[in-house]
Structure 1
Amino acid sequence: MLVRESNAHTHAVVSNAVLGLFKRERALGDQLRQCIDILVRTVTACLRHMRPDGLFHDVLDDDTTFVETNLAQQLAYTLYRLLDLHAHAPQALAPYVDFGELPMAGWEQLAEKMRLAAVENTDEWGLVRNVCGSPRFAAPGTAAEGQAWAIMMEVARTQYLSNNRGPKHIGI
């Protein structure tokens, strides 16, 4: 059983740390490369379970669990951060440009697909629906975390697009 929550938070923390460190240091040591490798492999493993609509089941490999929105936001955030890292330091992600199941050329489209799926689950009041709902996070609903990830995803996308000569593949 693949649990969504721990993977997604790990993606965010590692992608933020890697991007921040690389922007400051401009030198990528072995430990940072290991972090990137683990991050890309974990994201790839999660993306194998993406539904055609860009969303995921609460338990990734159990399609009897409810469909939820938050992981799509978290993975879109992570891919936008990795794309931003690649723009600042192409050598950092060079091993992943043609990375088997998840070549980098498709990252932007995947991130956008998940982002649009999350936007579709946002109601007229701006609440992201079908995230693991508070207080027990065992059923679809709303939660502050879902709102936070929506904002973080949009910020990561905006920073990536503004820092990197605009979108290559997505229409805005």
Structure 2
Amino acid sequence: MTKSAEPTKVINAMLAMQRYPWEQGVCAQALYEYGREDLYIPMAYDAVKRMDKNGRLAMAGGGEAVSDPASCGEVCLRAYEKTGDEFFLHGAKSMLEYLLHRAPRTDDGIICHNDESYYEGFTKYQLWIDGIYMVPPFLAAMGELDEALRQIRGYKRHLYDPENSLFFHIKDVALDKFVRKLHWATGNGWALMGLARVIEEAEKRGRTDISDELMPLLNELLGSMLKYARDDGRFGDILDDEMSFADGTSSMMMAATVYRGIKGGYIPAARKAAADKAYETVSQAIDEYGLLQEVCGCPDFTSEGTSAEAQAAYIMATAWKK
């Protein structure tokens, strides 16, 4: 990775955005992957400073979040490795302790996304596909690879649609009922990026049993998503809904995964053309302030707008493209 041709405006716009725990985590992770220790270390610092009494990182405005705070965990670990400051290690260990011993789980042991339900008539024992990025990569980085794999297997068991080889968005596991039975493009993008990071950590630690299990899942998911790529390389917000708006976030999540996967040897080089097309299209949708337009937008993520994860995914794609 290199800092040449740095997307300065995209980074600056991202840093200007108000952040919930998952936004702090994915933005800091993007800067870590881009090699900007001058930025990801201060973000890790603030994530620890805003840790709650349960050990959940970056809990500014995220009171019900369970899995989202874990997205901040790896940058805390990397900040410790870089600085030797035990402050960062304390944050990472506290987050891990919460996940392993205090986080609410489904009956089969999968960590819930929130500690309450946003949806009337549903319990808090919900899995959101977003969580496959939030939790397993951090568990893997902390050496808990078996638990990371257990969690991924749970997401696949409850949310994977074998007919389309895509993930559905949200399921209430306690009621065995889907809350949002849609093939949300950004959610599947989260899954791609999460799987890639666990694969790489498993490879680094010599756990080829885990990487060998996850590589086919990642490539199957990637291939299924690319079947729905539009002429300009982007996806629709709902992958199999031709009427849904074009979404650049999921496209950049795909591109970032493809670029790093080619470098890592677990994604075929032939996939690069799809990533390049998406990257070129999304690059044209960056406005004068550095904001990615034409993406699935916060705060409700059901309409077109802007988002911190769109900015982060573009930075990740840029980092791994070099």
Q: TM-score range by the shorter chain?
A: 0.7 to 0.9
| Structure 2 match to 1:142 | 306
1:1-43 C-alpha deviation (Å, 9 max, x unpaired):
4221321111101101212332343x622x3211011000001
Contiguous gaps of at least 5 residues in structure 2 = 1-181
Match in the other structure for 1:161: none
2: CA distance, partners of 1:127 / 1:152: 15
Q: Where is the helix percentage greater, Structure 1 or Structure 2? A: 1
Which residue number corresponds to residue 28 of structure 1?
Answer: 208
TM-score, L = length of structure 2: 0.42
TM-aligned CA deviation for residue 49 of structure 1 = 0.2
Unaligned runs of 5+ residues in structure 1 are 87-92, 97-103, 159-172
Q: Which amino acid aligns with 1:49?
A: Y
Aligned length: 141
Compare relative contact order (CA 8 Å, sep 6+) and give the higher one, 1 or 2.
1
Q: Does the CA contact (< 8 Å) of 1:19 and 1:81 recur in 2?
A: no
Query: 2:208 is paired with a residue of what secondary structure?
Result: coil
| In structure 2, distance between residues paired with 1:20 and 1:126 | 32
TM-score (norm 1): 0.76
Q: 2:206 matched to 1:44?
A: no
2:253 alignment partner in structure 1:
74
**What value does the CA root-mean-square deviation take over the aligned residues?**
1.6
Contact 2:200 2:211 in 1 (8 A): no
Amino acid at match of 1:140: E
Distance 2:318 2:258 in 1: 12
The equivalent residue for 2:156 is: none
Q: How far apart, CA to CA, are the structure 2 residues paired with 1:32 and 1:19?
A: 8
After TM superposition, list the pairs within 5 Å mapping 1:58-137 onto structure 2.
58-86=237-265, 93=266, 104-137=268-301
Please list the CA deviations of residues 116-153 of structure 1 after superposition, one character each: whole Å capped at 9, or x if unmatched: 11111111211100111111111111111111111111
Structure number with bigger Rg = 2
Identity of aligned residues (%): 27
- The residue aligned with 2:160 is none
> Is the Cα–Cα contact under 8 Å of residues 16 and 81 in structure 1 kept in the other structure?
no
